[in-house]
């Protein structure tokens, strides 16, 4: 709900549990007055205090009023070069070379429904949303700025985006434009939580206290990256899963980003989130506009768990576009770890033949099916079926898979090209990189210039021929390198700072076209695993391969960190063979199955190499997952322990919206002599109801939540044992 006080220029955004407020003051400076637990009403600018601070200058309109300075006031969208020395939200350069941005409030617009962003992913919906647009301008440069706010009350979600327009007669170069600025005047200490790592060890939670100065995470790799995720949290020092105020901010974007927080001279905090200014410069001709990616923020007054559940709900219901429209997604088997490049049609059918009787519904053919693709040294870009491997092409192979009762999926990597390919030999100028410089390779491949429509159109036309040649219901879209040599032959020298962003817009454009042309196809995103696990990709790909690391023990941490923002239904997770290809660790197939069920679920192995006992367990796992699909994929998610703390077990829980059903999964750690007796406290149950656990007993909900469930000692007799508790009301 958006409440306007037009007389005093106060704008209040209420959600179910929170309130966000801003105010245009007597100098038309847009001040941020409050963001936190819900407050019924009132002008919260009374919280702002004024004092003369040395070396904090005063705007011209304030005259000799020395207690008024942009350097000390909480701003809704921070300025540049006119007295605020903290992190600027925007920086632009008119033809005179100045880099000043003095934004003042000039008006607003309120409307029902959710705004949309042309060419960019964003949350969507109908009348359950409200939109507020605040209009600001820099009078001297004739630059106008529109601040967009979308309010989804029942999810505590507020989205933000910015549009900058050149209203003048000269060219302006936009050098920085954040999507979100949050100023906090709250008393007390705050922590900064980021989700970091590397390839195959993504989204490890890191928590550090704010110190004076700037702390940040960013990507300059052309992707949101394995190394830092464009989702961060600011929280009270004592905040935990179930207690304390925390603020989550997620960027709906898949390219270079910057998340920075500054602890100021007055012990206030400013958080910025948006496109990374590195190698960014966007030319605005007269009348032209630039729109930032969307940022999505949720404040939880009740800890991280509530924040996560609200993000999960909003992403499932208002961000992703699921082609199955609420139906169960298929349990799949992927051939990559079983065969890599060494396969033919008979080998693929053999793997599928062992999977179909176990209830697996989708066969996915991974890398190696096209061109002369016998290793990762060649073939990328030549999207024609290799009929030496697959005689008769997909027209011959797919019906053989379908006869087994399975649907068919395919792997592609449209953004890349091998030097040993017909495409590169014909169009070497289609790759990123200036002439006269040697190429920088990644995985022995180069990057196609997806900022160019002619390049995208050629690649997409080839892919369409493949997708039209057979019945394909799933596409895995991969991307296996970071961007280097970022220079486009299609842009002049003074516009090369647009290439990074134009590249991502090109990726979105092709994904959107594929989604529209093939609305029945489920697209799974992948960037060397989790290198673009972000809200921007989820708009086009309802699930993303969570990590190239399929080791169940490592996945406990990867999926734990991912869950702080992203729902289980978006996490691609598979059971793979042991010893694991990434770690060499061997874990029971039961444990591997329990961990992989906390995702979209599938297998990545040759099931012909499993024992009869393992096949029986796989059949049971698949049946269990299907039976409890809606609880796992759409239930409220609770983290019951933290795998980064090195405790004796990791546990998590799904609870149905009516709290009459729950599923708990638990994996023990390494075994030690004389293990202690352990209990597991559950969450989210109805304290007034009694539950059966796996069909037995009578367990009061308040007892399970406050006293706990005694973990059997048998689970601590070996490393990495797993258990699942299915709770139903009596």
Cite the active site residues: 534, 614
What is the enclosing helix (H) or strand (E) of 337? helix 336-339
- For 492, counting Cβ atoms within 10 Å of its Cβ (0-12 exposed, 13-18 middle, 19+ buried), the class is exposed
Q: How far apart are CA 5 and CA 75, in angstroms?
A: 19
Backbone angles phi, psi at 165, to 5 degrees: -130, 135
Burial class (CB in 10 A: 0-12, 13-18, 19+), 34: buried
Q: Which of 249, 278, 262, 248 is nearest to 215 (CA)?
A: 262
Provide the CA 33 distance to its chain's centre, in angstroms. Answer: 29
Supply angle C-alpha 275, 457, 285, rounded to 5.
45
Q: How far is CA 512 from CA 3, 448, 526, 538, 542, in A?
A: 35, 18, 16, 12, 13
CB 477 within 8 Å of CB 541: yes
The vertex-126 CA angle with 122 and 131, nearest 5°, equals 65
Q: Is 513 exposed, middle or buried (0-12, 13-18, 19+ CB in 10 A)?
A: middle
Tokens describing residue 343: 């396969």
Of 563, 626, 593, the C-alpha closest to 327 is: 626
User: 3-class SS at 153?
Assistant: helix
Say how many C-beta atoms besides its own lie within 10 A of residue 729's C-beta: 16
Q: Is residue 233 within 8 Å of 245, Cβ to Cβ?
A: no
The phi and psi torsions of 680 (rounded to 5 degrees) equal -120, 115
Distances (CA, A) of 323 to 326, 520, 522, 542, 558: 8, 5, 6, 9, 26
């Amino acid at each position: 709900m958006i409440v306007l006080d037009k007389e005093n220029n106060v704008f209040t955004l209420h959600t179910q549990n929170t309130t966000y407020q801003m105010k245009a003051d007597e100098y038309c400076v847009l001040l941020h007055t409050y963001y936190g637990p819900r407050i019924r009403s009132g002008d919260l600018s009374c919280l702002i205090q004024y004092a003369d601070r040395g070396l904090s200058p005063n705007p011209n309109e304030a005259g000799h009023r020395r207690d008024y300075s942009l350097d000390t006031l909480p701003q809704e969208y921070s300025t540049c070069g006119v007295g605020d020395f903290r992190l600027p939200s925007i920086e632009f350069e008119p033809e005179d070379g100045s880099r000043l941005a003095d934004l003042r409030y000039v008006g607003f617009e309120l409307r029902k429904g959710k705004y949309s962003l042309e060419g960019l992913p964003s949350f969507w919906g109908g009348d359950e949303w409200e939109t507020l647009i605040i209009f600001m301008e820099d009078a001297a440069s004739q630059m106008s700025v529109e601040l967009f706010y979308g309010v989804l009350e029942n999810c505590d979600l507020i989205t933000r985006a910015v549009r900058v327009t050149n209203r003048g007669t000269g060219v302006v170069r936009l050098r920085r434009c954040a999507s979100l600025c949050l100023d906090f005047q709250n008393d007390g200490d705050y922590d900064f939580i980021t989700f970091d790592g590397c390839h195959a060890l993504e989204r490890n939670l890191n928590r550090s206290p704010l110190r004076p100065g700037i702390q940040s995470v960013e990507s300059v790799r052309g992707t949101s990256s394995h190394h830092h995720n464009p989702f961060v949290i600011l929280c009270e020092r004592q905040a935990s899963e179930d207690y304390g105020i925390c603020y989550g901010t997620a960027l709906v974007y898949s390219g270079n980003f910057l998340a920075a927080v500054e602890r100021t001279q007055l012990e206030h905090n400013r958080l910025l989130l948006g496109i990374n200014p590195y190698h960014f410069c966007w030319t605005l001709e007269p009348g032209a506009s630039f729109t930032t990616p969307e940022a999505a923020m949720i404040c939880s007054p009740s800890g991280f768990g509530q924040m996560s559940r609200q993000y999960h709900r909003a992403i499932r219901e208002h961000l992703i576009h699921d082609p199955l429209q609420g139906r169960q997604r298929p349990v799949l088997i992927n051939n990559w770890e079983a065969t890599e490049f060494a396969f033919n049609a008979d080998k693929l059918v053999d793997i599928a033949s062992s999977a179909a009787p176990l209830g697996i519904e989708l066969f996915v053919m991974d890398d190696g099916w096209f061109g002369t693709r016998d290793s990762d040294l060649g073939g990328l870009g030549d999207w024609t079926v290799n009929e030496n491997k697959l005689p008769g092409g997909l027209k011959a192979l797919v019906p053989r898979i379908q006869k087994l009762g399975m649907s068919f999926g395919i792997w592609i990597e449209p953004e890349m090209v091998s030097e040993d390919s017909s495409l590169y030999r014909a169009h070497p100028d289609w790759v990123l990189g200036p002439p006269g410089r040697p190429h920088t390779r990644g995985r022995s491949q180069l990057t196609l210039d997806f900022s160019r429509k002619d390049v995208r159109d050629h690649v997409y036309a080839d892919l369409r021929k493949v997708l039209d040649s057979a019945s394909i219901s799933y596409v895995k879209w991969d991307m296996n390198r970071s961007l280097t040599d970022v220079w486009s032959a299609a842009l002049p020298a003074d516009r090369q700072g647009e290439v990074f962003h134009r590249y991502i817009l090109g990726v979105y454009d092709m994904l959107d076209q594929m989604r529209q042309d093939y609305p029945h196809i489920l697209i799974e995103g992948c960037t060397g695993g989790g290198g673009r696990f972000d809200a921007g990709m989820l708009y086009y790909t309802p699930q993303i391969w969570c990590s190239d690391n399929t080791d169940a023990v490592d996945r406990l941490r990867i999926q734990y960190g991912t869950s702080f923002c992203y729902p289980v239904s978006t996490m691609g997770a598979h059971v793979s063979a042991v010893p694991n290809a990434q770690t060499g660790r061997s874990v029971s197939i039961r444990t591997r199955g329990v961990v992989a069920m906390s995702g979209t679920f599938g297998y990545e192995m040759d099931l012909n190499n499993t024992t009869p006992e393992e096949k029986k367990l796989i059949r049971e796992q698949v049946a269990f997952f299907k039976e409890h699909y809606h609880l796992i994929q759409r239930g409220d998610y609770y983290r019951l322990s933290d795998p980064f703390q090195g405790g004796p077990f990791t546990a998590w829980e799904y609870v149905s919206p009516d709290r009459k059903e729950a599923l708990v999964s638990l994996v023990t750690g390494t075994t030690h002599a004389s293990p202690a007796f352990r209990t597991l406290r559950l969450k989210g149950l109805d304290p007034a109801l009694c539950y059966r656990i796996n069909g037995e007993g009578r367990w009061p909900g308040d007892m399970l939540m406050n006293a706990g469930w005694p973990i059997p000692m048998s689970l601590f007799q070996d490393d990495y044992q797993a258990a699942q508790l299915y709770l139903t009301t009596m």
